[in-house]
Amino acid sequence: MTPEDLLTQYKSGHIDFSGLDLHRIQLQGADLIGANFSGSNLQGTNLILTFLSRTNFHQANLKGSLLRGANFSQADLSNCDFRDADLMGCNLSRSDLRCSDLSLSTLLDANLSGADLRGAILNGADLRSTCLRSANMREEGRGLPGADLRGANLQYADLKGANLSGVNLQRANLAGANLTEVSLKEANLTQANLTGAKLTNAFMSDAILTEANLSGAMLQDAKMNRVDLTRAILTDAILTDATLNGAKLNQANLQNSKMARVRLNKAELGRTNLKDALLLEANLIEAYLGRADLRGADLRGANLIRAEISSALMAGANFAGATLPDGSIQD
């Protein structure tokens, strides 16, 4: 079918183009709102700046297609093959991308706000500066996995309010990303780059952040109970009023971090670097700080009752007004 034939049929009211072989068809700038391309082969197609809102592409093959600036808002893109596709600047707001394969695709500056990405594969995808506000990527208990973002580039992406519970973000680049109020419960962020990321009010309980880089990250009021931050880098991070009860921070680097009023009850901080950290009025009840480096740390007014600090390095640390492990108050 030629582009002219397809557009003529569409203009006459025919919208069903399902199951057709349309590979490499040139439809740039066309108006195909509400059309049905489900199951069609559109590999290598040119759909640049095409209007495709509310269009059905379920199980379509769009591998390697040129889709820059296309409008896919509210489209059914579930189970599609978008591998190596160029979706730069696309409008994918409120689209259904469940179980689609977007591996190595380019989504730079795309709008994915409110999109359903549960089960989507985004390995190595370029999502720099993408808007993913309120997008749903969570793992479902009914067998639908969370989005797979291993190695994806989400640098400076806007994910405010997104649901990333159970999502795989191993080695993903989230430097400078806006993750305010996101849910990262049980997410895997092993070796992820979160340098300078905004995680204020984020819900991260039971997440895995082993060897992740959170230097300079903003984690005020973050909920991080039982999070695994073993060997993570949190230098200069801001954790004011954050909750990390039962967290694992063994061998983590928190030098010069700001942790006023942080809750670290029963946390594991063995060999953790807390040099020059601000722990003003921090709660460290029953925390383990064996061989931790607290040199120069500010622990004024902190609660260390039943905490293990006997082998910690404490030269120059300020414990004024702190409750010590034996219950006494430091002068």
- Say which DSSP state 330 is in: P
> Within the chain, where are the H helices?
3-11
Nearest-angstrom CA–CA distance, 43 and 21: 9
Q: Among 53, 67, 163, 172, which residue's Cα sits nearest to residue 110?
A: 67
224: Cβ contacts below 8 Å, ≥ 6 apart: 204, 205, 207, 242, 243, 244, 247
Provide the pLDDT for residue 173: 98
Nearest-angstrom CA–CA distance, 62 and 45: 7
Provide the pLDDT for residue 144: 81
Nearest-angstrom CA–CA distance, 91 and 280: 46
78: Cβ contacts below 8 Å, ≥ 6 apart: 58, 59, 96, 97, 98, 99, 100
Q: Which two tokens stand for residue 256?
A: 């010069």
**Burial class of residue 236 (count of CB atoms within 10 Å of its CB; 0-12, 13-18, 19+):** middle
33: Cβ contacts below 8 Å, ≥ 6 apart: 51, 52, 53, 54, 55
Q: Which two tokens stand for residue 55?
A: 């269009």
Q: Among 221, 222, 229, 271, which residue's Cα sits nearest to residue 246?
A: 229
pLDDT in tens, the chain (331 residues): 899 999 999 999 999 999 999 999 999 999 999 999 999 999 999 999 999 999 999 999 999 999 999 999 999 999 999 999 999 999 999 999 999 999 999 999 999 999 999 999 999 999 999 999 999 999 886 678 889 999 999 999 999 999 999 999 999 999 999 999 999 999 999 999 999 999 999 999 999 999 999 999 999 999 999 999 999 999 999 999 999 999 999 999 999 999 999 999 999 999 999 999 999 999 999 999 999 999 999 999 999 999 999 999 999 999 999 999 999 999 8
Query: What Å distances lie between residue 327 and 125, 223, 245, 262, 287, CA to CA?
Result: 53, 27, 20, 19, 14
Q: Which two tokens stand for residue 242?
A: 């954050």
Phi, psi of 297 (to 5 degrees): -75, 150
